[in-house]
Amino acid sequence: MSINIIIADDHSMIRKGIKLILKTIFGQHDITEVGSCIDLMAQLRKKECTHLLLDIIFPDGTALEVIPNIINLCPDIKIMMFTMQSPVVYGYAFKQYGINYYLPKSLDEEQTIEHLRKFLDNVPLLEGGQPLLPQNPFSSLSPRELEVLHYILNSHQTKTISDLLNLRMSTISTLKKRIFEKTGTENLTQLLELANLYDINF
Amino acid sequence: MIFFSVDETRINIITLSLLILFSAIAIYFIIGYTVKKLIVRQKILKLLIERRTRELQQKNEELEKNSIIKTRLISIISHDLVSPLKYIHFTAKNLLENKHSLDQDTVDEMMTEVMNSSKELELISTNILNWIKYQNEHRRLIKEEFDLNAIVAQIFSIFKGIAKQKKIELINEFDTGMILYQYMEPIRIVLYNLTLNALNFTEKGRITISGGKTNKGILIKVADEGIGMSNEQIANILSEQFIVSSINVDKRKGNGLGYLIIKDLLKLVDAKFVIKSKKNIGTKVTILLPV
């Protein structure tokens, strides 16, 4: 089966840069760019895709919210997370969805190319089984908690988060409480400081 | 004689008791007065403490808000500045190394992106600088004379390229010679941000800056024909708790930094502003500057 790639990222410069690397270094030409969750889902419904480069934070939501739908729609799709976020924080959550590829945007050109090569050649990056990554206060958050974390850091109220994620307010409150517990913080200011310390973007 | 003496004794007793009575009353009043004075002083102290506490709380809230904004700025800088810059570099390098093998369409596509992105990065950097510059509360502001028409023309020239690309017409309705004696820099930054917002949320049509002198002050209106805002969104912008956020109700790009700056600076120059908007018809922001 021929390779056909979607680059999902809200920054067009980053999409173009990766697209050019895929073209010049890997000779790939079937590449589609999308900039939001809605466009990504629409594109996946329109045309099958073998490889997906997926950012985490979009203007209309986070990857965590759409990954179950993507896997439902295209069970064979190969996904590589492509993000500023640290794999230490998000790696485990994505592994739960069977995603073993992670391309941090902070990598230099050579490393970026190396990661893309492994992704296209089906060489696993994140080893299965034992975690090879160090831990940080955010590592133990579940995918749901990470979703909520993103909105809390953006100073959204419980009501808004419950509307955005289609979850009950009581569920959001419980998730919030657990996030504060797991990270050992007491309020938003402390959580923000900790997020900053561990380079969590939101 | 006896009578007299009895009488004298009685008078003495009466005088004495009167004296005691008066002293008692006097002491009563003195104590009462002192106690009252003490109570009043205590009340004043209590009020003072309350006021100081309130001031401290307010300062604390401000500091907290500022620290949230700073954290947010760090996020904006790393997400919206550092990685796009890195990819501009990757792309330029890649183009240079492969200039002989790449087709013209790809080269054009990439160069257009580099051109647009670098412009966008310049605009974001300018705004971050704008915000930082006015964070120092003791910063001295100087009023100066300037021509509104020239200021608007200068702002429009920054956005000329973007407007042309999006086929948006920029209209400056101020006549030359519309001289103001005002804080020029804050007003320029506010108009810059209002124009930037209008451009970001307009697909086609016109962006007009107009206004004039009234007896209440100087009116400046920035109107677009863009996607508009709901009342809820406007209320959110106007609320004291408004905090820059990467997710916007409209699922449109924007980091909220613009309105944060606009609100801060208009407060600084003692101006009022009103936002009127209709979904899919446009937004009009009116500013009233005091004379």
Residue from A121, A49, A39 nearest B251 by CA: A39
Is the ipTM of this structure higher than 0.85? Answer: no
Yes or no: say if A20 and A68 are a contact pair by the CB < 8 Å rule.
no
Cβ-based contacts of B232 with chain A (< 8 Å): none
Contacts of B80 in chain A (CB under 8 A): 11
Question: Is the Cβ pair A155, B88 closer than 8 Å?
Answer: no
Contacts of A39 in chain B (CB under 8 A): none
Contact A24 B64 (CB under 8 A): no
Measure the CA–CA gap between B198 and B142, rounded to whole angstroms: 28
Minimum Cα–Cα distance from B118: chain A residue: A13
Q: With a cut of 50, say whether residue B175 has pLDDT above it.
A: yes
The residues, any chain, with a CB within 8 Å of residue B204's CB and separated by 6 or more, are: B166, B167, B168, B225
Q: Who among A14, A21, A23 is closest to B83 (CB)?
A: A14
Average of per-residue pLDDT values in chain A: 88
What was the pLDDT predicted at B245?
Answer: 54
* Token duo for residue B33: 């007065």
Long-range contacts of B283-286, Cβ-Cβ distance < 8 Å, separation of 24 or more: B283/B197, B283/B198, B283/B201, B283/B223, B283/B224, B283/B226, B283/B228, B283/B229, B284/B221, B284/B222, B284/B223, B284/B224, B285/B194, B285/B221, B285/B222, B285/B223, B286/B211, B286/B219, B286/B220, B286/B221
A130/chain B closest Cα distance in angstroms: 31
Percentage of the residues of chain B whose pLDDT score is greater than 90: 50
- Domain segments of chain A as ranges: 5-120, 143-197
CB B120 within 8 A of CB B253: no
Write B50-53 long-range contacts (CB < 8 A, 24+): none
Contact B247 A23 (CB under 8 A): no
The alpha helices in B77-201, defined as continuous H runs, are 83-97, 104-133, 148-166, 184-200
Question: Which of B93, B103, B247, B249 should we substitute to test contact with A (largest number of A Cβ atoms within 10 Å)?
Answer: B247
Q: Are the beta carbons of B84 and A16 separated by less than 8 Å?
A: no
Reported as a pLDDT band with limits 50, 70 and 90, residue A128 is: very low
Each residue of B215-243: pLDDT tens digit?
A: 888 999 999 999 888 888 888 788 776 66
Average pLDDT over residues B109-133: 90
Burial class of residue B74 (count of CB atoms within 10 Å of its CB; 0-12, 13-18, 19+):
middle
- Contact check, Cβ <8 Å, B68/A189: yes
Task: Please give the Cα distance from B83 to B81 (Å, whole number).
Answer: 6
Whether pLDDT at B13 is above 70:
yes
Q: Which residue of B has its CA nearest to A164?
A: B249
List CB contacts (< 8 A) between B248 and chain A: 59
* B246 closest CB neighbour out of A18, A112, A202: A202
Q: What is the largest CA-CA distance in chain B?
A: 146
When CB atoms are compared, the residue of B95, B106, B245 closest to A155 is B245
- Alpha carbon distance B19, B178 (integer Å): 84
Model pLDDT for residues A32-58, shown as the tens digit of each residue = 999 999 999 999 999 989 999 999 988
| CATH among 1.10.240.10, 3.20.20.140, 3.40.50.360, 3.40.50.2300 for A5-120 | 3.40.50.2300
CATH topology of domain A143-197: Arc Repressor Mutant, subunit A (1.10.10)
SS3 call for B253: coil
CB contact under 8 A, B245 and A59: no
Tell me: pLDDT of A129 over 50. Answer: no
Does position B248 have pLDDT exceeding 50, yes or no?
no
- For residues B16-40, give the mean pLDDT: 91
Query: Is residue A84 a contact partner of residue A64, using CB atoms and an 8 Å limit?
Result: no
> What's the pLDDT tens digit per position in B253-279?
566 788 888 988 898 889 999 999 998
Q: Which residues of B touch A (CB under 8 A)?
A: 64, 67-68, 71, 74-75, 78-80, 83-84, 86-88, 90-91, 93-95, 97-98, 101-102, 106, 109-110, 113-114, 116-117, 241, 243, 245-248, 251-254
pLDDT value of position A190: 87
CATH architecture designation of domain B139-291: 2-Layer Sandwich (3.30)
Which residue in B64, B110, B253 is closest to A20 by CB distance?
B110
Rounded to a whole number of angstroms, the distance from the CA of B27 to the nearest CA of chain A is 57
- As a whole number, the mean pLDDT across chain B is 86
Helix (H) or strand (E) holding B54: helix B2-76
Residue A25: DSSP 8-state: T
